Amino acid sequence: MTQNPFDLIIFDCDGVLVDSELLASDILSEELARYGLDITPRECRERFTGSSLKRVKEIVFQSKGIELPDNFEELLRIRDRRVFEERLRPVSGIEETLDMLHLPLCVASSGSVEKITHSLKLTGMYSRLAPHLFSAEMVSRGKPAPDLFLYAAEKMGVSPNRCLVIEDSPVGIKAAKKAGMTAFGFAGASHAGPGYAEMLDLTGADITFREMFALPNLIQFYQK
C-alpha cells in the first residue's frame, strides 16, 4: 500500500461539500441587477465562484465603476439563507466519502463563518467537520491569495506541504498552489458543465475528478 502523503484534508465548502453554486449565482445576479449591473448567473459563476463577497465588490468597482453599498453583503446573505433553507443539498456522495476518510479534516471557505455553519447544518455535515471551520473573514486577503489555506494549516498544526486541498474553483486552486499545497479539482457539482474539469487542470490542479466517491482512492494512491 502506498504511504499516505497527507496529514490534513482541507475542503472548500460551496461546490465541494454543498451543491450551492447554481443557487448562489442566481441570487447574486438578481441582486446585482438592482444596481444596474446586467451580469447573468452564468457570468457570475465564471467571474466570482470561489471569491469572497468583499472581493466581488472590488471586482465590480474595478470593472464597472459601481460601488456597491456597505450593506450589500448583509442583504445578499439574508437572501442566500432563505433560498438555501428551501433548496440546498449536499454534493452527491460527500457524506459517504467523509465517513471513508481517516485523516484530519477542516473547511476553508470564502464564505462567512455564519454561512459555512448554516450550510453544513442544513445538509447534516456540521458535526463531522466542526469546529474546524475557517473563513476568509479570518485573514486579510481571500482567495486567490494563499492566506486562508496557510491560516487553516497553521491552526491545525500541519505543514502546508502535507495538506491536500479539495477545490472547485480556479481561484481556490490558485490559492492552494500558492500555499505550497496539493490541490485536487472537483468538477462534479451541478454548476460544473462541459469543460469545467479541463479548466481546473489548466489552472494548476494536480488531479481533477468528477465523482466524490473517487476521492478516497485518489488520496490513497496519489504520489507527489
Q: Is 180 left (phi over 0), alpha (psi -120 to 50) or beta?
A: left
CA distances from 169 to 61, 124, 126, 183 (A): 22, 23, 22, 11
Q: pLDDT digit string (tens) for 48-89?
A: 888 888 889 999 999 989 999 999 989 998 999 999 999 999
> Which residues are 8's β-sheet partners?
163
Query: What is the model's pLDDT at position 1?
Result: 44
Global pTM exceeds 0.85: yes
Q: Per-residue confidence at 219, pLDDT binned at 50, 70, 90?
A: very high
Q: Which domains does the chain carry?
A: 8-19+88-220 (3.40.50.1000), 21-87 (1.10.150.240)
**What percent of the chain stands above pLDDT 70?**
99
Q: Across the chain, which distance is largest between two alpha carbons, in Å? A: 57
Q: pLDDT digit string (tens) for 115-152?
A: 999 999 999 999 999 999 999 999 999 999 999 999 99
> In the predicted model, is pLDDT for residue 157 greater than 50?
yes
For helices 113-122 and 72-87, angle between their N-to-C axes, nearest 10 degrees: 10
> How high does pLDDT run on average in the chain?
94
Work out the average pLDDT over 195-207.
Answer: 97
Q: pLDDT digit string (tens) for 93-123?
A: 999 999 999 999 999 999 999 999 999 999 9
> In the predicted model, is pLDDT for residue 217 greater than 70?
yes
Show Cβ contacts of residue 210 under 8 Å, excluding neighbours closer than 6 positions.
186, 187, 188, 192, 197
Gap between the terminal Cα atoms of the chain: 15
Q: Is the dihedral of CA 45, 49, 54, 55 positive or negative?
A: negative
